[in-house]
Structure 1
């Protein structure tokens, strides 16, 4: 596989090559030590579904493995590809690891971070209120800020992750995300004295923001242990739903192509609601026990 990966560089887009690299690193260790001819279809099925990853990750794994084993066949190493006929399971029960804040909790976290890097702490707040993916936020231009009758919205048109070329959004479509009053003053400060083609999210010196620099500047490990930057997107989604925003609207704001993906947040909040309801039941049970005891 290492030989194939080296051969592939320069023959495919750099982003594809890096995606393959990530997939290879995430494959089961036991598979990596196997003889090539011993790999069967069931091994491929296990490799793409291990760890109950998202459907998009399964598809990436399947694409990379398909390309690798097709190369093996062309090179005469195998008579046929074990990937042939393998599909991502339909109706897969996807478990998304998330650890969102509430907006109130995020305020405290951002305030602590702001003691060290006020501008980067503002970036944290904006992500937590808009639900943008990191690459989408990095690609925003000043001209993407749309002002309308005292309010504002962001037109999300592209994505630019570190080390990758700027490309279209994950869903392949532009979308409009409203800007809440809480973070509108922050956006307005970023827009000031810039031209429409300038990047919106920049450092104090006007450079494009990098995830590693942001984490270091705000002391992420100190103030957000157990959280990822992607949890800021989860924060926006869960808080929108908790505030009563319709799930279809949340789907549009997040840029999900499927409502099933958005429903993950509904299920997450359902678990919270179950715990709240159980607390009420237990509270009533405790009161009933006290009444019985006094009788």
Structure 2
């Protein structure tokens, strides 16, 4: 190494460590945001010259002054723990007691089957199919956007969710009503791939270092996105690639559809996933099976839907009845 070369900047080191450890691009952006926020909060001081008391003050500020949600405060804490442990190699240790943002217990908003059908009737094309998969297969919006041709098993009617929440893979239902539209999407993916092969050969984005291990994988049908973006973009390394549809476009379409049908409760893409769970439980599906289909780490997370259904009262009837 050239003796006059400068050591990498802090944020470059943060990015490099996260890519070596195969963190998702979404996590990378989030952690970088909180690390920069922490540095600015302390007057552009280098984190190596700070420690647990400074992290404590920052987290206290988020809860007391900015009134952030509990999940947001935990996100910031995780980013700083990563910075000090994995990048600076000086673990924080005990940062002491700090004001915790309160995590209010909220029941999820769910829709009846009839309400979901009304919402789907307001959507068309890929947005209709994506919303149908969120309701019919219990997918998160990020999971449906990231579906590739290889994740579809039409013969067994199974969808494979890869690198879902917690970087876990799982399988879930492929609704029969979605098979024909999915087959059309696969045919369209093949036509789009053929055009790219005839012209600029833009590959799709691939996970981790797969593109280096299998250079032609990005130009094979199996790895094509089921819902590709309409135009290429640059990946983190500066290469021109084809990414999937952005989640914000799907979220906007679903919100607009829900507004058009005048629902009494505000909803979102995640409402469709909640409705999937409650529909299965109301039809007698075992809660452990629902847990597996949703990809929940703990059955306690899935049990929240029993409260939505009113099944948590052990058969107790109101004295007014």
| Contact 1:48–1:61 (Cα < 8 Å) also in 2 | no
Q: Which residue of 1 aligns with 2:279?
A: 239
Q: Measure the CA separation in 2 of the matches of 1:153 and 1:51.
A: 39
Cα shift readout 1:211-249 (whole Å, capped 9, x = no counterpart)? 233345563473377222222221212222122111111
If the length of structure 1 is used for normalisation, what is the TM-score? 0.62
Q: Which residue of 1 aligns with 2:142?
A: 135
Question: Aligned runs of 1:213-224 on 2, under 5 Å?
Answer: 213-217=249-253, 219-220=256-257, 222-223=259-260
| Contact 1:44–1:86 (Cα < 8 Å) also in 2 | no
1:259 is aligned to 2:310: no
Aligned CA RMSD, in angstroms, stands at: 4.7
1:210 is aligned to 2:221: no
**CA 1:18–1:10 in structure 2 vs 1: closer, same or farther (change >3 Å)?**
same
| Contact 1:203–1:209 (Cα < 8 Å) also in 2 | yes
Unaligned runs of at least 5 residues, structure 1: 1-5, 158-167, 285-295
**CA 1:222–1:22 in structure 2 vs 1: closer, same or farther (change >3 Å)?**
farther
Question: Aligned runs of 1:23-42 on 2, under 5 Å?
Answer: none
**CA 1:15–1:123 in structure 2 vs 1: closer, same or farther (change >3 Å)?**
closer
1:8 is aligned to 2:14: no
Q: Measure the CA separation in 2 of the matches of 1:178 and 1:93.
A: 32
Question: Aligned runs of 1:280-291 on 2, under 5 Å?
Answer: 282=320, 284=321
1:156 is aligned to 2:193: no
**CA 1:68–1:178 in structure 2 vs 1: closer, same or farther (change >3 Å)?**
closer
Q: Measure the CA separation in 1 of the matches of 2:168 and 2:275.
A: 23
Question: Aligned runs of 1:1-295 on 2, under 5 Å?
Answer: 7-8=10-11, 11-12=14-15, 13=18, 15-20=26-31, 44=59, 53=70, 59-66=74-81, 84=95, 95-96=105-106, 98-111=108-121, 113-114=122-123, 117-148=124-155, 151-157=156-162, 168-192=163-187, 194=190, 195-202=221-228, 208-217=244-253, 219-220=256-257, 222-223=259-260, 226-270=266-310, 282=320, 284=321
| Contact 1:23–1:64 (Cα < 8 Å) also in 2 | yes
Cα offset, 1:53, TM superposition: 3.7
**CA 1:9–1:237 in structure 2 vs 1: closer, same or farther (change >3 Å)?**
farther
Unaligned runs of at least 5 residues, structure 2: 1-8, 19-24, 44-49, 191-220, 232-241
DSSP 3-state at the match of 2:227:
coil
Q: Which residue of 1 aligns with 2:237?
A: none
**CA 1:254–1:20 in structure 2 vs 1: closer, same or farther (change >3 Å)?**
same
Q: Measure the CA separation in 1 of the matches of 2:57 and 2:35.
A: 18
Q: Measure the CA separation in 1 of the matches of 2:284 and 2:32.
A: 41
Cα offset, 1:107, TM superposition: 0.3
| Contact 1:44–1:83 (Cα < 8 Å) also in 2 | no
**CA 1:74–1:210 in structure 2 vs 1: closer, same or farther (change >3 Å)?**
closer
Cα shift readout 1:94-143 (whole Å, capped 9, x = no counterpart)? 735621222221100111x23xx343122111111111122221221112
**CA 1:156–1:264 in structure 2 vs 1: closer, same or farther (change >3 Å)?**
same
